[in-house]
Each structure stands twice: as structure tokens, then as C-alpha cells.
Structure 1
């Protein structure tokens, strides 16, 4: 059946620190590709890294971006067997095995932009089928985009990787989109000795709302008593990772899922490691999304977590301002309604 013309509005990154809206007609999806109407997407620190050019040379400019969303399938390419038109899905950079489809899209008379296996800052998009996941029946569509990055990374670090015990002393450094879901995973495990560290007092107030009494703003309190069993770090700052290892007990472990800038190194005193401390980098919380989206959704539903308490919702037209002012945000995640 012939596909009707789909006109989509994209936010593209033209070059470092320069964003632009463009409108274009989307081509038909390729083999192993889906054409999806985006319902909601969210802004992650990874997109801020791209915007500021902190990942080094970007050979794909100009390009579309964004990597977590919820949407509905409009049409499908060849070789698609597990999805159907009108099905609602979650889109994520944490992909399954399979073919990854990229390409370029023309706009205007001679202009084009590139796109990868997943981009979400647009009203419609083309994505590889291995970036798409079915939605559990009882999930809230309004906040479902968070299952594409923040939720599996934060909860996965705790439940898939660290697996702390009830009596362990834990710290969360960086209380953004990942950090808040680290907290919920720790609370699910009945861990009560939790410290939240962030330089934003408004984010610390969110942690307080969820029952955390040990709250530290390092800009105001330079002395932090350590001796933690586990530290979960997600600030994106190399210096923070370096300081974190000093706060561990000798048998302690730090898991970090942040994105320090290209060429930034982590400087560690080797004696910290000799004493028995361990440091781990986390890739999406080691999450398998076919298993973990339903699993994490069930946990959050049973805990009666209201995501609206710590997220904010905005129109697509506001996304450029939100990206430019990302570091000044007082909530843990900005969600865009398309």
C-alpha cells in the first residue's frame, strides 16, 4: 500500500552550539526500519554533550538527535515481524541485537541532515526496529519515554549490577534523571541508609520529599563523611568521579553512568584500588529492555511512584531553550510533548 506523505518537524544540530528546526517529507521506512509518530520524548545529558561539542569531532553534522521516546508506529519497512502499524512503542538507545539503519533526509531544495538508528526530537521519525520495544499495558504514556534511558540506567545500575544489601550504606551523587531512579531502586531493596549529594537545592528537596534525610550540597558543605559501601555517580564530571572514590570504604564500589567530556581523564590514587576499592562504568544499567521495561514498570507501579512530581512537561517549540538552559533546570527530567 502506498504511504501517504508524512511531513515532520525536526530539531537538528547544524554545528556546535547551533540548533535549527526544519520541516520535511519523510521517505518510506527502509528494511528493518519503522516510521514512528513521536508522542513524548525527553532530554538527556547526552544530547547536551552533543550540542556543546563535548564528545569530540562530530563527522555526522548536521544531524537529528534525541534517544528516548514513546510513540506510535505509522508504517513499517520490510523484514518487520514483531511490530505492527498503530502499535505504541518505547524507543531507546539501549538496543537489542540486530540491523542498525541510518541515512540522510533531504529538506528544502538542496539541504540534508543525517540520522542514526534512533533520533527522537521530531514529530515523526525513522528508527531501527532494534531500538523499539513493546509497551506494558498499564504504563503511563505521558512518562513512558523515561523507560528509554533514565529508568533502565538508574534502576539497572542498582538491580542488575551493584545489587546492594539492605544494611549497606549508599550514596547518590548527581540527582538528575538517572539519580532519582537509582533512589527508587534502593528504596525497593529496603535500603534506608542513603545519602543524596547534589549542588542544586531544588533537586535535594525532591530527594527530601521521597524520605531522604541525608542531603548534601557540596557547594555549601565541603566536608562529606564517606565510608560508603556503594556510590552511584551520574554528574558527568571527571572530578566528581575522582572525589567519589575517596568516599568509599576500602571494600566499597562506585558505579558511574556519566559522560565526561572527550579527552577528560579520571585521575586516581592507585592506593585507593590497592586497598580494595572498585570502580565500574555502567552502560545503560546493563539493562535488557524486553525484560526490564515490564520489570521496572511493575516495581515503580507497586511503589506508587508519581513521576510528575519530579519531571516537567513542555511543548516541542520550547526544546531549544530547554537544551540551552539544561544545567539550570530544577527538575530531574524535562519531557517534551509533541
Structure 2
């Protein structure tokens, strides 16, 4: 089968649209007609080779679409089902077997090395040259072959083109709060960065009934938007002498929880230094491989925790339907974050994401 797709040839090069060959699904795999796909920060840092995914590749890992065909042994979906695509996991390592697929021991191999679980690709140029897969889905394409473990069945009474970002960015931010931190009612939360991940964490903090929710960002327009979504306080680092001191004032001694989404080492230091005793910082921002940060060990000694996070510590087949239900109830209005683009405008969408013009671009594909 032939499909239109946006792919990247070399480091930092813009996406190019061309026609590719898509294989049929193998046993345990699903062919999905992609309706739309969100653009995530991770797509852009892979395009720029912060993570060395083989090129050429079709990126995209926030796809939503309709099941077209299933391979042998697939039981969770049937043709015609509406689905969201999330990350790949093996299903048989210790982490997967204990209900933590986000910590799959082969997560990197399955999502970032350019092939499917069997070491081969499902996308090819018309001359037969392989095009690398990404995140087990490569959803910047009209059709995608994915593992059954990537697929999340979703209800048909919600716009399908809206749902793709639940597969990564929105799942990650909200899961940091609802799955990882599980904050006590009335606790204080500080979120560094008001992009789609940070604002998803903000909305989840409101769902969790946090008492004080502080958002830190350098764009005043995003801080105003954060207030609309439920932030009780906002801080623009350009307008204060010391962000950490300001947070300690607001929270009367330090935050119970902080979330770092910006990928900047100096901001991670602020997130940790902003904590109260017994506080926890979650790291979400993904900088280039090898990035290091300096922390004061004596700060950590005061019963403080720093932890990483992958994909919201979630089981997508459980958590994504929960987020959709919160959205339907009006408690998680993630639709306010998005702006739609046609596939032909994917480079404009990427630029708007990087410059902050658009919080969450979604590329409509079919």
C-alpha cells in the first residue's frame, strides 16, 4: 500500500512530504489509517538528532486514527475501531509484567532505534529503501503499522482528530501528577514551563484538588492562559529577582511538589531548590544526551526526592480513557491547547511549536 508521509532526511532538515510504501501488519500488529497526529517536543529533538534515531525516518508519536486491518493474534481491536497510538513496550520484561510498561527494559530499543520489535521496518521508499520507524508508530503518515501494545481503543463520541496528543505529551504531564505524585488535597504544586506538558500537569493538579498551583514561564501570554486553566499564582522569571525565593514566599516555606518540563539544567536546579522538606521534584524535560545538572547535596539530604518520569508513569489503555472521561465531564479541557494544521504545513506547525506561537500543534492527515 502507498501512503503520503512527512519524513526527515538529515539532522535539522525540514520535514519533506513524499509517497512511501507501507507493509501489511505482521502477527500482533495493527494497520491504522491515521486521521491526525500531534507534534511533540520529542519529534523535534529527534529531527535535530539530540537523540540519534536513524534517518531517514517518519517521526510522529501522537497519532490517532481508525483500525484498517489487524494481523494474526490481535484481539484488543477490530477494523473500524477508533484508536490513539502511544509508546511501544515488549510485554514480557519484569517491568511490563508488573504493570509498568512505561519502564520497559527495552523501551529505548523499541522506540528510538528505528525498527519494529523484529528488527525490520514497515515503511519504505518506492525504490525499496527502508525508512526508519519511530516510537513503534511513525504517525506523520497516512497509514501506520503498530504493535497491538501501542493501540488504545477510544470512544467514538469524541473528535478523533483531537485525541492523538493523549498518547504522549498530555499523558506525560497529567500522569506526572495523577500517577506519579498523587498529591494530597490542598498540597502545593509548582510547574516550570507552560507548554503542553506543563499545562497538562496544571489541569491535572486542579483535578487532584491541589491548593496552591504555581506556574513559571517566560511568556506572559502563557501565564495568563495558565490562570484561566487553574493556576493560583504565576511567575515570570524576567520580572522577579529570585524565582526560588518567590516560590518560598507563595508557598510559605517551599512547595510540596515541583515539575520541570523545560529541559534546562538551571531550571531543574530551581525546581529542586523550591521544595519544602519532604518535597518531590519530577523531571520531564528531555535535553540532549549527556546533559548534566548541579545540585546541592545538602538540599536533597533534607528528605527531598528527585525522580525521572516516562510517559506519565501510565498504562495507556487505562489512563487515556480516564483522561477522555475527564475531558467529557469538563474537568480536563485539553482541547484549549491545540491548533490544527494540514500535513503540507507541518514545518510551519513545528516552527510555531518551537517559537511558542502554538501550544500543541495537531497535523490533520486524512
TM-score, structure 2 length as denominator? 0.85
Counterpart Cα distance in 2 of 1:8 and 1:239: 43
Provide, for residues 206-234 of structure 1, a one-character-per-residue CA deviation record: whole Å limited to 9, x for no partner.
Answer: 11222424111112323222311100111
Select the residue among 94, 114, 124 that pairs with 1:106: 124
Shift in Å, 1:304: 4.5
Provide, for residues 36-86 of structure 1, a one-character-per-residue CA deviation record: whole Å limited to 9, x for no partner.
Answer: 11111101111111011212x44x211111111110111222222222112
Match of 1:73 in 2: 67
Match of 2:29 in 1: 33
Counterpart Cα distance in 1 of 2:238 and 2:308: 26
What is the DSSP-based 3-state SS (H/G/I as helix, E as strand, rest coil) of the residue aligned with 1:219?
A: helix
CA contact (8 A) 2:25 2:145 kept: yes
Match of 1:331 in 2: 358
CA contact (8 A) 1:200 1:330 kept: no
Select the residue among 314, 319, 328 that pairs with 1:287: 314
CA contact (8 A) 1:171 1:228 kept: yes
Provide, for residues 223-275 of structure 1, a one-character-per-residue CA deviation record: whole Å limited to 9, x for no partner.
Answer: 22231110011112222112211111122111121101111012111111112
Structure 2 unaligned spans of 5+: 93-115, 248-253
Please identify which structure carries the higher strand content. Answer: 1
Provide, for residues 291-316 of structure 1, a one-character-per-residue CA deviation record: whole Å limited to 9, x for no partner.
Answer: 21222222232235443322111111
CA contact (8 A) 2:337 2:359 kept: yes
Alignment of 1:165 with 2:165, yes or no, is: no
Match of 2:55 in 1: 61
What is the DSSP-based 3-state SS (H/G/I as helix, E as strand, rest coil) of the residue aligned with 2:34?
A: strand
Alignment of 1:129 with 2:148, yes or no, is: yes
What is the DSSP-based 3-state SS (H/G/I as helix, E as strand, rest coil) of the residue aligned with 2:145?
A: strand
Match of 2:76 in 1: 82
Alignment of 1:185 with 2:212, yes or no, is: no
Structure 1 unaligned spans of 5+: 1-5
Q: Does 27-36 or 108-117 show the bigger shift?
A: 108-117
CA contact (8 A) 2:122 2:145 kept: no
Match of 1:150 in 2: 169
Counterpart Cα distance in 2 of 1:97 and 1:36: 21
What is the DSSP-based 3-state SS (H/G/I as helix, E as strand, rest coil) of the residue aligned with 1:262?
A: coil
Match of 1:275 in 2: 302
CA contact (8 A) 1:161 1:286 kept: yes
CA contact (8 A) 2:327 2:334 kept: no
Match of 2:10 in 1: 15
CA contact (8 A) 1:203 1:331 kept: no
After superposition, the Cα gap between the structure-2 partners of 1:198 and 1:248, relative to the gap in structure 1 and judged at 3 Å, is same
Shift in Å, 1:104: 5.0
CA contact (8 A) 1:25 1:107 kept: yes
Alignment of 1:197 with 2:192, yes or no, is: no
Match of 2:234 in 1: 215
RMSD: 2.0
CA contact (8 A) 1:94 1:284 kept: no
Shift in Å, 1:322: 2.1
TM-score, structure 1 length as denominator? 0.91
Shift in Å, 1:95: 4.3
Q: Does 176-185 or 207-216 show the bigger shift?
A: 207-216
CA contact (8 A) 2:255 2:275 kept: yes
After superposition, the Cα gap between the structure-2 partners of 1:184 and 1:289, relative to the gap in structure 1 and judged at 3 Å, is same
